[in-house]
Structure 1
Amino acid sequence: MCLTLRSCFPCRPCRSEALSKSFSRCRFRFFSRTRMRTRSQSADPVGLGVNFPPEKSGKPAGGRRFMKLPKFWGGNKAPTQAVVGIPDSTTAVEHHSPKEEEPKPVALTPEEIFEAEDVQHLCEASQQLIQREEHLFGDTTETDSLTHHAEEVDKLALNYKNLRGLVLKSLSLSLSSGEVSVEALTSAVKAINQEIDQDQQWEKRNRLLPPWRQGDWKKLHDSTLRKLVEDRMDNPSTPPPDQVDKSSFQADINSMGRQLKEDLLLVVKVVKKCYPPEQDICNFYAKLYHQTFSSRLRKIADFGLEDKDCIFLLRWVNEYYPQILQKPELASEINPEVLGKLLSPELLAPLEDQYLSKQQEELKTFISRVLEEAEQKWRRGDEPTREDGCFVSHVAYDISQLINGVASSAATVLGDPHKAHIITCQLKDLMQSFQSFHNNVMKQDKPNSRLFIKANLGCIQQFMEVLNKKHHLFQKDVQKNCLQILLVMKESAHIYLLKPVHESLRPQYSKLGTTDWLNKPVVFEQLLDSIESELQELQGAAQSCHEELTGQLHQEVTLEYVRRLLKGKVKLKDKEQQHKAYQRIKANTESLKELFEKTGSKEDWLNDILTTIAEVLKLQDLPAIQMEVVSLGAAFPDFSEKHVSALLKLKTNITKANRKMVKETLSDHLKETSAVVSRPFFSKVQVK
């Protein structure tokens, strides 16, 4: 019998009429429910299929979100009120005659949704269950509800159990592409949020919670997603073919990392759409994956790792994982600063120490081997390698490449350039080993020693370039000490290579500043010829190193020239001799300049020294002489009063009082300026 007949069962005529109309109504209800299964979800409470009138007082019951609802099962209810989809017979007679327009279909009931496992309508099911809950408990005591409505309460509990099951199923499939639709997940999320709001309403009532409310929906959501993430990280997809040659340890980490990346991209592109923006689901998932990945790595780090696995783990922590979070798609949604490092400093410290110790050991071993090979080659009497006509050594290149590679890699692996300084801090000791080899080559002075020193000049230059250009790889004190060692090595190499040159030129040096020099141009020409011959012997170093070496010779020849001149062996008695000396010095200066420029010297500043000295010797007017001396002192603050006195003594026609005035003028100027000696020259010229 149709349920609609019960309300007027005693009246036979009415019963007959109701039977006919109820049959039509039942057909319509079946038809309408079938149609409603295809309807899209709606959050509008009006579409829930229940049309509850307000209370007489006009006040809503059951909290701010819900209208006060009449009782469904038992208790007093209006004669025209119907349960979902079951119309009152009177209403059916009055309002649903066959001639009337077909009514709109009603919504599915929770029972229908759960029976069909219709996950796209979990939001509507949640809304209806909340309304039933409010009907049962909104304005009655728990005892009354549990006593008088036990059947309805049991049914509501069962429905909530079914709702929870389908919601959990939808959440568990959140990251399974193609197994749950965006609409279904969106509906599940809305249902969860509705239930969270209802949990809060119960908290405000300060009343005993019904059994189905004793589980926090927010905790349920969070724990479900946490379990989902843990399962996916524990069972990542099969490693790609390029992982087969890696250890199981490395393959496992790579698989977890790849799973993390793929899932976070899915969250950003798809799952994010199913949640309200304020829930910040992207950062929530990122936190879950971060914690899970970190937990797995912590377990691995607790065991002793081989060196290669230690490096691999550090690279994942400091390089690969940050690179994943920096992908443009993720960087706009996830804040890595909040996540922090995958491993704590306490766990990273032993791994870093293991890595740094290994790198230091390898660097020291490699450099020692490179220096040993170079020394063995020298001891055998072999010549250094020639490239483009220059003697070269691969010591600096090999060592520099290794240092640069190791330090740069360490900065990446450790995630901190400053930690890489621990590796390069031992460079000072290694550079001292190179200096010892360098000094030993010069000390023993074998037939091939000069060739090796020329090759070493190139090494020294390369080391200096690395220390200056890659200064971030070294601590400041290490950089400073190494540069000082290299500077000493370069100076000693120049002395070693130029010493035979000066010994060969000594006979010509002795004639400078003499009467023969003043009167016979051939004296200086012989010196030039000897210098040119020696310059040929100096060739063999790399181009830039050869230019520095010839520049050093240019400076030392000029020093010897000035030293011999200020010794005062030639006396310039009158204006004519002084002018002649001026011309001779000017001519010599031009000849030296031309010769050394051809060999690559860039010491043009030396020309100004000789030219100014020549001007002082030519001038006869005391104020003019004072101006030239001050000019020379301004350019070279190490030009002392002794040098002035020795220079002016060459001019025998200048009085002692005038010499004193010139010296005082220079002294006053130097006191006023307090100039710093940038290019020492006269301090190397000893005069009496």
Structure 2
Amino acid sequence: MHCMGFLAATFDQLAELGEFTFEQNLEHLRLLEAGKQLIDREERLFATVAGGTGPLECQKDQVDQLAKDHQTLLGCVTKALRESLDLAKESVLKSAVKALLQEAEQDKRWASVERRSQTPPAWRPSRWRRLLDSTLQETVEKRMDAATLADQATEGWSSVQMEIDGKGKLIKEDLQRVVEVLTDCYPVEIDICNVFARLYHQDFSSRLNKIADFALSEKDCAHVLRWMNDYYPNILKKYEKDINCEALGKLLPEKVYKPMEEQYLTNSQVNTQKLINQILKREEEAWLKGDEPEFGEYYSSPLAIDVVECIDGAMRSAEVYLGDQQKALPVMCLLKDFLQSFMKFHEDVLKGTPANSKPVTCFMKFHEDVLKGTPANSKPVTLANLNCVEQFRDYIIRKTSLFPEEVRESCLSTVTAMKESGYAYLLSPMHKDLKPQYKKLGTSEWLNKPLFEELLDSVEEHIKDLKGLNESCHQELMGRLEKEVTLEYIKRLMKDKVKLKKKETQEHAARTVTENGHSLHKLFSKVGSREDWLADILPKIAEVLKLQDLPSIQLAVASLPAAYPDLSVKHVTALLKLKSNLSNNDREKVKATFQDSLAEINHQDASFASFFSEIQIK
């Protein structure tokens, strides 16, 4: 230990005194110092000779030796550059780079005006930058050639995938060393990070181009795109402060990657289409077998969630593989055709039998059972379908920017149509049962007996059979039912089956309509309807029935178009007929006032919820 310490101290002392020989400096990899010694010798032999004609004949042996030493030095410098990415220490590389810079300065001295008359040695100029670039390029190529394959145990991976991953991993590790270590070994003007980045980019690009020349499998094609548009850009992005990523460009030219992207997108759409078709087929088969959807708080089916996950997942993957959200948008268009198929299934469920059912031998009994009548599970399946439709609607609205306008409008139109048919399926039997009670509305019996309370009791009982929708759909269904019952009420009232001749009778009818309106809205608010605008319709009609003087009636009727622009002259005529004590002349005045008000509202192009347009007056 003491002996080694003494030798180290002696070495350091000799280094400080500058008493190392050229060979000793090379041995200890002091390349800068060795280079300085050669330049000093060069100066003595070439630059200081009288007359500036070069070394004397007797000095030829010294020149030959200097040339050999210069080559030896360049060999050591080149070796240090080649091993720069493998070294654990940076001191040798720093010395080699400084030696190269020192050589460059000597080249400049020889090129100066003062030395134009002198004959430079054969090794001048040394072209150190060319040496640096060629050495680093050779180093990168050899390292990429020697890059090990990715883990061969990776399940299902091809040799192409493993090769690309192995080289990509090497680039990631080498660039990290360049940025974290080699930056300090080179002067800023060399811009070593961008030098290495460019060399690795060119090499990797060349190799991927060669791979792309072959007919790649679906997985290999996708893997190349993933590296080009995702993995590789993310490697560079980590060092974007040190590397000009934009200047590097893409790994593959457009003529190469565009067909690959088209192939990937086509495969993605085909595979996704198969998956979502299988999901729908699973639901169809469950319905035909008589299975009921799962019931918790409501009937639920995994269909919407599974389809959305498939399409959304394919969309996100395509965005990653293609490197551009816009290029991935065609995946979203798959939902349009799927919803059309889903609506067809939905319609079959509502009808109770599958369209175009053709029993075959192996399924003969199965189909015969189905064709006997409406499957008992059609209502639960309809409820589950409506819940799915709501989920699709929410997804379309949430992702509206990802759908082309025509596709988005088509999808929303389909889900709206499915809701309409589904709600009609659920409510039609109820209206059919209530029809005898509806017929009594607007009659003398209605005015004198608590018929409407009985109707509300019946409605409430029927509502108990409408369980199974999620909260949003249930609210929508209750709102639709409230509107339909209100429409039925006014439709019956305008049939002119009761004559309100006296003031007292009209006031009694007005109170009845008002109370009926409040009771109706109170019931539906309790069961989930949020259509508060319906609450004012019957009281506004009651106001017209109650008023007696013509100006007040005119004012009340003239105010209606502001809230109900679809109210027509026919509706007003039917309403005024209830007030049988009103003269024809007065009726015409009220209608004229109404028409003036309606024309003004129409010019304003007011938006409104349709109501009276759904009441047909003969």
Q: Which amino acid aligns with 1:538?
A: L
CA drift of 1:429 comes to 2.2
Query: Residue in 2 aligned with 1:538?
Result: 466
CA RMSD of aligned residues (A): 2.9
Q: Which amino acid aligns with 1:394?
A: P
Query: Residue in 2 aligned with 1:442?
Result: 350
Q: Which amino acid aligns with 1:458?
A: N
Query: Residue in 1 aligned with 2:15?
Result: 38
Query: Residue in 1 aligned with 2:265?
Result: 356
CA drift of 1:294 comes to 1.8
Query: Residue in 2 aligned with 1:515?
Result: 444
Query: Residue in 2 aligned with 1:571?
Result: 499
Query: Residue in 2 aligned with 1:319?
Result: 230
Question: Conserved in 2, the CA contact under 8 Å of 1:133 and 1:156?
Answer: no
Query: Residue in 2 aligned with 1:333?
Result: 242
The alignment partner of 1:426 has SS state of helix
CA drift of 1:186 comes to 2.1
Tell me how far apart the structure 1 counterparts of residues 167 and 442 of structure 2 sit (CA, whole Å).
84
Query: Residue in 1 aligned with 2:421?
Result: 492
Alignment deviations for residues 45-93 of structure 1 (CA, whole Å, 9 cap, x no partner): xxxxxxxxxxxxxxxxxxxxxxxxxxxxxxxxxxxxxxxxxxxxxxxxx
Q: Which amino acid aligns with 2:500?
A: L
Tell me how far apart the structure 2 counterparts of residues 631 and 209 of structure 1 sit (CA, whole Å).
107
CA drift of 1:463 comes to 1.3
Q: Which amino acid aligns with 1:465?
A: D
Moved more, 116-125 or 204-213: 204-213
CA drift of 1:239 comes to 4.9
Match 2:386 to one of 433, 440, 457: 457
Matched, 1:135 2:43: no
Identify if the C-alpha distance between structure 1 residues 659 and 131 changes in structure 2 by more than 3 Å, giving closer, same or farther. farther
Match 2:313 to one of 405, 420, 424: 405
Matched, 1:172 2:82: yes
The alignment partner of 2:299 has SS state of strand
Tell me how far apart the structure 2 counterparts of residues 256 and 250 of structure 1 sit (CA, whole Å).
10
Question: Conserved in 2, the CA contact under 8 Å of 1:33 and 1:106?
Answer: no
Alignment deviations for residues 537-560 of structure 1 (CA, whole Å, 9 cap, x no partner): 222333332222222111111111
Matched, 1:420 2:328: yes
Q: Which amino acid aligns with 1:119?
A: L
Matched, 1:291 2:291: no
Query: Residue in 2 aligned with 1:282?
Result: 193
Identify if the C-alpha distance between structure 1 residues 37 and 238 changes in structure 2 by more than 3 Å, giving closer, same or farther. farther
Q: Percent identity?
A: 45
Question: Conserved in 2, the CA contact under 8 Å of 1:589 and 1:610?
Answer: yes
CA drift of 1:240 comes to 5.9
Query: Residue in 1 aligned with 2:167?
Result: 256
Identify if the C-alpha distance between structure 1 residues 363 and 567 changes in structure 2 by more than 3 Å, giving closer, same or farther. same
Tell me how far apart the structure 2 counterparts of residues 294 and 139 of structure 1 sit (CA, whole Å).
55
Question: Conserved in 1, the CA contact under 8 Å of 2:148 and 2:163?
Answer: no
CA drift of 1:218 comes to 0.9
Tell me how far apart the structure 2 counterparts of residues 252 and 200 of structure 1 sit (CA, whole Å).
45
Alignment deviations for residues 199-228 of structure 1 (CA, whole Å, 9 cap, x no partner): 456566689874313552211101111111
Question: Conserved in 2, the CA contact under 8 Å of 1:172 and 1:225?
Answer: yes
Query: Residue in 1 aligned with 2:283?
Result: 374
Moved more, 635-644 or 584-593: 635-644
Question: Conserved in 2, the CA contact under 8 Å of 1:170 and 1:184?
Answer: yes
CA drift of 1:389 comes to 5.2
Identify if the C-alpha distance between structure 1 residues 219 and 333 changes in structure 2 by more than 3 Å, giving closer, same or farther. same
CA drift of 1:684 comes to 0.8
Alignment deviations for residues 12-54 of structure 1 (CA, whole Å, 9 cap, x no partner): xxxxxxxxxxxxxxxxxxxx99666433xxxxxxxxxxxxxxx
Q: Which amino acid aligns with 1:542?
A: N
Identify if the C-alpha distance between structure 1 residues 653 and 133 changes in structure 2 by more than 3 Å, giving closer, same or farther. farther
More helix by share: 2
Question: Conserved in 2, the CA contact under 8 Å of 1:123 and 1:190?
Answer: no
The alignment partner of 2:559 has SS state of helix
Query: Residue in 1 aligned with 2:487?
Result: 559
Question: Conserved in 2, the CA contact under 8 Å of 1:438 and 1:489?
Answer: yes
Question: Conserved in 2, the CA contact under 8 Å of 1:226 and 1:288?
Answer: yes
Matched, 1:163 2:73: yes
Q: Which amino acid aligns with 1:467?
A: I
Question: Conserved in 1, the CA contact under 8 Å of 2:151 and 2:162?
Answer: no
Matched, 1:303 2:214: yes
CA drift of 1:620 comes to 2.8
The alignment partner of 1:213 has SS state of coil
Identify if the C-alpha distance between structure 1 residues 155 and 675 changes in structure 2 by more than 3 Å, giving closer, same or farther. same
Identify if the C-alpha distance between structure 1 residues 202 and 662 changes in structure 2 by more than 3 Å, giving closer, same or farther. farther
Identify if the C-alpha distance between structure 1 residues 375 and 606 changes in structure 2 by more than 3 Å, giving closer, same or farther. same
Query: Residue in 2 aligned with 1:676?
Result: 606
Identify if the C-alpha distance between structure 1 residues 244 and 403 changes in structure 2 by more than 3 Å, giving closer, same or farther. closer
Query: Residue in 1 aligned with 2:5?
Result: none
Identify if the C-alpha distance between structure 1 residues 244 and 602 changes in structure 2 by more than 3 Å, giving closer, same or farther. closer
CA drift of 1:669 comes to 3.5
The alignment partner of 2:582 has SS state of coil
Question: Conserved in 1, the CA contact under 8 Å of 2:38 and 2:66?
Answer: no
Tell me how far apart the structure 2 counterparts of residues 129 and 396 of structure 1 sit (CA, whole Å).
84
Identify if the C-alpha distance between structure 1 residues 383 and 240 changes in structure 2 by more than 3 Å, giving closer, same or farther. closer
Identify if the C-alpha distance between structure 1 residues 125 and 554 changes in structure 2 by more than 3 Å, giving closer, same or farther. farther
Tell me how far apart the structure 1 counterparts of residues 375 and 102 of structure 2 sit (CA, whole Å).
94
Question: Conserved in 2, the CA contact under 8 Å of 1:317 and 1:343?
Answer: yes
CA drift of 1:119 comes to 2.8
Moved more, 312-321 or 662-671: 662-671
CA drift of 1:197 comes to 4.2
Question: Conserved in 1, the CA contact under 8 Å of 2:230 and 2:323?
Answer: yes
Alignment deviations for residues 514-570 of structure 1 (CA, whole Å, 9 cap, x no partner): 11112222x112211221222222223333322222221111111111111122222
Gap regions ≥5 residues in structure 2: 1-8, 354-373
Alignment deviations for residues 555-600 of structure 1 (CA, whole Å, 9 cap, x no partner): 1111111111122222222321221111101111122122222321
Identify if the C-alpha distance between structure 1 residues 33 and 542 changes in structure 2 by more than 3 Å, giving closer, same or farther. closer
CA drift of 1:397 comes to 2.2
Tell me how far apart the structure 2 counterparts of residues 664 and 242 of structure 1 sit (CA, whole Å).
87
Moved more, 662-671 or 407-416: 662-671
Query: Residue in 2 aligned with 1:687?
Result: 617
Tell me how far apart the structure 1 counterparts of residues 18 and 100 of structure 2 sit (CA, whole Å).
24
Question: Conserved in 1, the CA contact under 8 Å of 2:46 and 2:52?
Answer: no
Query: Residue in 2 aligned with 1:77?
Result: none
Tell me how far apart the structure 1 counterparts of residues 112 and 26 of structure 2 sit (CA, whole Å).
30
Tell me how far apart the structure 1 counterparts of residues 543 and 577 of structure 2 sit (CA, whole Å).
15
Question: Conserved in 2, the CA contact under 8 Å of 1:122 and 1:187?
Answer: no
Question: Conserved in 2, the CA contact under 8 Å of 1:119 and 1:170?
Answer: no
Query: Residue in 2 aligned with 1:474?
Result: 403
Moved more, 145-154 or 215-224: 145-154
Tell me how far apart the structure 2 counterparts of residues 171 and 384 of structure 1 sit (CA, whole Å).
73
Gap regions ≥5 residues in structure 1: 1-31, 40-104
Question: Conserved in 2, the CA contact under 8 Å of 1:417 and 1:472?
Answer: no
Tell me how far apart the structure 1 counterparts of residues 111 and 521 of structure 2 sit (CA, whole Å).
98
CA drift of 1:118 comes to 2.6
CA drift of 1:132 comes to 4.7
Alignment deviations for residues 651-670 of structure 1 (CA, whole Å, 9 cap, x no partner): 23334444344434443344
Tell me how far apart the structure 2 counterparts of residues 600 and 243 of structure 1 sit (CA, whole Å).
55
Identify if the C-alpha distance between structure 1 residues 115 and 323 changes in structure 2 by more than 3 Å, giving closer, same or farther. closer
Question: Conserved in 1, the CA contact under 8 Å of 2:205 and 2:252?
Answer: yes
Tell me how far apart the structure 2 counterparts of residues 670 and 209 of structure 1 sit (CA, whole Å).
104
Query: Residue in 2 aligned with 1:74?
Result: none
Q: Which amino acid aligns with 1:683?
A: S
Matched, 1:273 2:184: yes
Tell me how far apart the structure 2 counterparts of residues 578 and 345 of structure 1 sit (CA, whole Å).
81
